[in-house]
Amino acid sequence: MMASRRSRWSSLLLAGLLEATAVHADGLADTRFRIQGFAAQTLISSTNNNFFGESRDAISTDFTEIGLQAFWLPVESLQLSGQILYREAGEGDEEGLRLDYAQADWRFYQSDTTQLGIKLGKVKVPYGLYNETRDVPFTRPSILLPQAIYLDSSRSVLIAAPGAIFHASAIGAQGTLDFTLGWAQPDFDSEAVEYVFLGRNRPGALKGSSAFSSSLRWETPTDTTLMLTYVDANADYEPGTPDTLGAGEIHFRNLLLSFQQRLDTVTLTAEYGQPRTDRSGFGPAFPDGGRDSITRYVQGEWRFHPEWEVVLRNEVNYRDKTDKTGRKLQAATGLPAHAMYSDDWVIGLRWDVTPNFMLRAEYHHVDGTSWVPGLDNPDIFATEQRWNMGLLQAAYRF
């Protein structure tokens, strides 16, 4: 019943977006204004654990993405842009329709080689190579981004937030250098995020207080991208009634290193981070403490035909670098050791049937459950260490 209801909503929203596109068809020819969108439906089946719905030994249709984007350049120095997004992704993301982002980008200084500007509104947060475009299926290297880095269960924390981002870019003989510096109010207020940072859904509310971000990106003349991203986010917990937790605070920070090399028909990508999470003030039921994690992946994409591409990736996540196997956690709490790590081998195939229509298939062989969605698997003792997952996706853009 739930799946069919979501499907009806998806169909109605897609029809509305297509109608809106037709209404603005005349505007599409204007380079100062354009409207575009996308729609994607993914089928997921897995063994031993659920992902984005009831996919264990079944087929889940609970992964739907539909977006409508608009860009307007009223004057040369100002760009207005935004996106309305409809997204369903299992039990962890049932909000449906939402404003994904809406920002004004004022480039207050421009020359032949330098540009300075500031973005205001609900701004896209620069984080690694894919965060700013992660909602658009056509811009992702695979159906799922590497969960070791771009964890979907906590995507709302870093995807976009009310705030301001200063940006600067310079072009020279050694390539292009881009720098950003921003402040925003992150969104921690979801049950999926509570599972990530508090272990399970709590009676109270986890509210984002502030987030600082900075990035430095260098695009070299040899088609190489090097990038450093730093984020520092805080959230406050407001206890509910009744509640075993006090008014605590979560502090998350990460320095992410990114590399990409493009070689004609082959693209090689790697990202590495060591996130740090600290908690304090929650009381004896959730003692003060901190944990350093390790997240990384290595990926290769091969466009072996103009319409076909294959991707191969290995991604690794250790939630505690001092307890990579999870044995310390298991000995202390009795929780499954495999909840502390994951090692995922991924192979995927993309077929661009037309410039606007894409089909994808993807297979995951996973050891560990560190990024398995908690809301889709509420009984942690029912999860299993080794599991496989297959995904099929159809995506259309207009």
Q: Cα(12)–Cα(70) distance, rounded to whole angstroms?
A: 20
Q: Cα(269)–Cα(357) distance, rounded to whole angstroms?
A: 25
**Nearest of 352, 289, 355, 347 to residue 314 by alpha carbon:** 347
* Mean model confidence pLDDT for the chain: 91
**Which class for 76: exposed (0-12), middle (13-18), buried (19 or more C-beta within 10 A)?**
exposed
Query: pLDDT of 323-377, one tens digit each?
Result: 999 999 999 999 999 999 999 999 999 999 999 999 999 999 999 999 999 999 9
**Nearest of 51, 263, 38 to residue 133 by alpha carbon:** 38
Q: What is the pLDDT of residue 1?
A: 40
**Range of lowest pLDDT (180-184, 240-244, 290-294):** 240-244
Q: What is the pLDDT of residue 39?
A: 97
Where are the chain's structural domains?
Answer: 2-397
pLDDT band at 154; cut points 50, 70, 90: confident
Whether the per-residue pLDDT at 27 is higher than 70: the answer is no
pLDDT band at 191; cut points 50, 70, 90: confident
Q: Are 175 and 216 in contact (CB under 8 A)?
A: no
Whether the per-residue pLDDT at 145 is higher than 70: the answer is yes
Q: What is the pLDDT of residue 8?
A: 45
Q: Which pair of tokens denotes residue 312?
A: 């191969």
Amino acid at 9: W
With a CB cutoff of 8 Å and minimum separation 6, the contacts of 18 are 37, 398
**Nearest of 150, 164, 171 to residue 254 by alpha carbon:** 150
**Range of lowest pLDDT (23-32, 159-168, 302-311, 348-357):** 23-32
**Nearest of 322, 272, 320, 275 to residue 296 by alpha carbon:** 272
Whether the per-residue pLDDT at 122 is higher than 90: the answer is yes
**Range of lowest pLDDT (39-53, 113-127, 237-251, 308-322):** 237-251
Q: Are 235 and 208 in contact (CB under 8 A)?
A: yes
**Nearest of 337, 298, 342 to residue 318 by alpha carbon:** 342
294: β partners: 318
Q: Are 179 and 117 in contact (CB under 8 A)?
A: no
- In this structure, the number of other CB atoms found within 10 A of the CB of residue 305 comes to 11
pLDDT band at 30; cut points 50, 70, 90: low
Global pTM value: 0.89
Query: pLDDT of 127-139, one tens digit each?
Result: 999 999 999 999 9
Whether the per-residue pLDDT at 15 is higher than 60: the answer is no
Q: Cα(179)–Cα(227) distance, rounded to whole angstroms?
A: 10
Query: pLDDT of 236-287, one tens digit each?
Result: 999 988 888 999 999 999 999 999 999 999 999 999 999 999 999 999 888 8
Q: What is the pLDDT of residue 92?
A: 83
| Total length of the chain | 398
Amino acid at 193: V
Q: What is the pLDDT of residue 114?
A: 96
Average pLDDT over residues 33-53: 96
Helix (H) / strand (E) element for 19: namely helix 2-23
Q: Which among 29-33, 178-182, 278-282, 289-293 has the top mean pLDDT?
A: 178-182
Higher pLDDT, 200 or 181: 181
Q: Are 356 and 398 in contact (CB under 8 A)?
A: yes
Q: Are 44 and 52 in contact (CB under 8 A)?
A: yes
**Range of lowest pLDDT (78-82, 96-100, 166-170, 309-313):** 96-100
Architecture of domain 2-397: Beta Barrel (2.40)
Q: Cα(267)–Cα(241) distance, rounded to whole angstroms?
A: 52
Whether the per-residue pLDDT at 50 is higher than 50: the answer is yes
DSSP category for residue 377:
-
Q: Cα(129)–Cα(270) distance, rounded to whole angstroms?
A: 10
Average pLDDT over residues 45-57: 96
Q: Cα(1)–Cα(8) distance, rounded to whole angstroms?
A: 11
